[in-house]
Amino acid sequence: MREIATGLRNFWRDPSGRVVLALAGTVVGTGTVFYRFVEDLRWLDSLYFCVITLTTVGFGDISPTTTAGKVFTMIYAVVGMGVFVALASTVAHHLIAAKAPAPSQNSSPARD
């Protein structure tokens, strides 16, 4: 459990981690606003549709009805999944690094 907390703390301290997290938030926020006004969905339904789309669950209970909504969704899904893969990869990197054993202080590299 301590390794998870350390990994998440290191992720938050890493400037690139915060950038990817902010980018993911921007993607979800942009999609939510778009679907609210273009597809005339309620705020919660807009957010729900963004999350369902980006996680590739796609229940099919909500779908875009306008041409603009359909085009946006195609681009949004490709870009958004890329952003969330980058986010997951960055978090995983920090979690794995936190779990890895610390390098030994006494070992020296082998010499020829």
Mean pLDDT in consecutive groups of 10 residues from the start of the chain, 112 residues: 87 91 96 98 97 89 95 96 93 87 61 56
- What is the model's pLDDT at position 108? 56
What is residue 84's predicted lDDT score, i.e. its pLDDT?
Answer: 92
**Other CB atoms within 10 A of residue 7 CB:** 19
If you search the block for the tokens 């952003």, which residue do you land on?
Answer: 83
Give the architecture-level CATH label for domain 2-97.
Orthogonal Bundle (1.10)
Determine the Cα–Cα distance for residues 87 and 105; give it in Å rounded to an integer: 32
Question: What's the pLDDT score for residue 1?
Answer: 82
Helices (H), the chain: 2-13, 15-38, 43-54, 67-99
